[in-house]
């Protein structure tokens, strides 16, 4: 059986867009990339705590925990992953 080589980046190498890094710094808390019915979503850990299987990615003093289920599909962490109700904080 032919298996295509995995050319995906390591989760620790997934780029975090600058606007997301700034947003996380302003919010002053860690976040988690988890699964939703609409695809990957970025939530504060107070709403969706990290799991032991999550992959931590440091962003300055903060951490983004990436669900192991989402990590293989991510090309970047961008503002489109923030739910609209979080984005209404005047950012």
At 1-44, the pLDDT tens digits run 544 444 445 556 789 999 999 999 999 999 999 888 888 999 99
DSSP 13: G
Q: Flag whether the pTM goes above 0.75.
A: yes
Residues 6 or more apart whose CB falls under 8 angstroms from that of 64 comprise 16, 24, 30, 31, 32, 33, 42, 56, 57, 77
Task: Kindly compute the dihedral angle of the four CA atoms of residues 14, 42, 31, 6, in this order, to the nearest 10 degrees.
Answer: -30
pLDDT of residue 87: 54
The predicted model gives 50-72 an average pLDDT of 92
């Amino acid at each position: 059986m032919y298996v295509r080589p995995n050319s995906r980046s390591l989760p620790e190498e997934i780029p975090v867009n600058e606007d997301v890094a700034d947003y996380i710094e302003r919010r002053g808390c860690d976040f988690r990339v988890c699964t939703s019915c609409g695809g990957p979503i970025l939530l504060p850990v107070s709403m969706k705590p990290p799991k032991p299987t999550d992959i931590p990615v440091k962003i300055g003093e903060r951490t983004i925990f990436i669900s192991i289920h989402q990590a293989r599909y991510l090309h970047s962490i961008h503002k489109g992953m923030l739910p609209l109700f979080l984005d209404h904080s005047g950012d």
